[in-house]
Amino acid sequence: MAMMNTPEGTRDLLYGECQLYRTVRQELTAVFQRCGYSEIATPVVEYYNVFSKAGRSVPEEGTLKMIDRSGRILVLRPDCTLPIARVTATHLQHEPLPQRLYYDETIFRAATVNAGHMSEVDQCGVELIGADGTRADAEAVAVALEALQSCQLQNYRIELGHAAFFRALAGELEADEIQVEEIRALIEQKSFAALDDLLREQYSDKPSYQALRRLSRLFGGAEVLAEARSLTDNPAALQALDELSAIYDALCAAGWGAYVGFDLGLVHQLDYYTGMVFCGYVEGSGHVVVTGGRYDALMGKFGRSAPATGFAVDVAGVAGALPVQEVKTAHKLVHYEAGCLGAAMKLQCSAGAGEIELSCCENEEESRRLAHQKGIPTLVVLTASGVREESV
């Protein structure tokens, strides 16, 4: 019989992995609750137009679509923030702001064939809606750091950037949207040589030429902000650096300075993020485990303008950096005679989780063989007249 595999971008979780994922989720959401965030859940299936409002940040080709009975296009939820924006603008429209919301949900995206990307991604995250300024941004980053710490990770780090910094520099190029997107992509990919060639050939006379050349290399500690300031006198770019400095100072004062750095080359999803952006990394995980930032323009697309900031944690990314929990192996197998199921279950429940297994075998010899096959050292025989134990 041919092996039946899971669809592209999905996988099965077994035993200890399931326990580990559950533990990570519990730790993350417990932090969110302690920090004053309330849980919200949205449907797995949404109308496509909810996500089309996000522009390129949720590309159409990356969604899994279906058609309902009336012919409307539905998608499996590819993002958690947009449905929460919809809820805030409808069900919560009369609630005072700010609203602190958290979620523990799964998103679905069409995986690129053979690219190694998952199409089913478990996320836990928060949205702080209706709060402007660096105090709210610092809170979001601090909650993310607290959440990572709660998972007992050995080494983790958050890197801060700012969407407005790149926008200000790109605006000085007087380039069209297609060209700006090409430059953005090269910076995001840290394609140093290709970026240098493109800028030198077409924009070497522009004020932001040197700053954009250096942008993908501007990552590290607080010294990055000083270097960035030396590369530009653009007021909007300098304002973005001032905001990052204020956020960093607040995090240092809260004791998180050793876990925070900068990467001004964080220029992803620029039609989504409007201010500070950040990514989180964990030793032992091969990809970004936290993504977040400020998205002040999104809520208005759903009819309720409000500033907002937030982040999402990739549960699998965090779990991948932790040892898989060992599953307890039963050390007793209970063979019970007819009419003794209740007593057998009572005995089982009196022990620790997974310590006692019930036998479905019809006679003692079959139960004895089963205990031997499963490596269970003790057989318990339960009858109406009593209980006895024997080594297998």
Distance CA 176, CA 338 (A): 80
Residue 152, helix vs strand vs coil = coil
Q: Measure the CA angle with vertex 344, ends 340 and 345; round to 5°.
A: 120
Distance CA 145, CA 313 (A): 11
- Nearest CA to 148 out of 17, 41, 274, 284 is that of 284
Report DSSP state, residue 348: H
| Burial class of 364 by CB neighbour count within 10 A (0 to 12, 13 to 18, 19+) | middle
- The whole-number pLDDT of residue 389 equals 93
Distance CA 126, CA 138 (A): 13
- Nearest CA to 141 out of 296, 292, 261 is that of 292
Q: Measure the CA angle with vertex 335, ends 330 and 340; round to 5°.
A: 120
Distance CA 207, CA 233 (A): 9
In the block, residue with structure tokens 């790109």: 170
Question: Does the pTM of the predicted model rise above 0.85?
Answer: yes
Q: Measure the CA angle with vertex 370, ends 338 and 350; round to 5°.
A: 60
Those residues whose C-beta lies under 8 Å from the C-beta of residue 264, and which sit 6 or more positions away, are 161, 162, 165, 166, 215, 218, 219, 224, 228
Asked whether 310 and 278 are in contact (CB, 8 A), the reply is no
Those residues whose C-beta lies under 8 Å from the C-beta of residue 269, and which sit 6 or more positions away, are 56, 57
Which helix (H) or strand (E) element contains residue 88?
helix 81-89
The backbone torsions φ and ψ at residue 387, rounded to the nearest 5 degrees and listed phi first, read -130, 140
pLDDT, one tens digit for every residue, the chain (392 residues)? 556 788 878 888 888 899 999 999 999 999 999 999 999 999 999 998 888 876 666 677 778 899 999 999 999 999 999 999 999 999 999 999 999 999 999 999 886 655 567 888 999 999 999 999 999 999 999 999 999 999 999 899 999 999 999 999 999 998 988 899 899 989 988 888 999 999 999 999 999 999 999 998 999 999 999 999 999 999 999 999 999 999 999 999 999 999 999 999 999 876 789 999 999 999 988 789 999 999 999 999 999 999 999 999 999 999 999 988 777 789 999 999 999 999 999 999 999 888 999 999 999 999 999 999 999 999 999 999 999 999 98
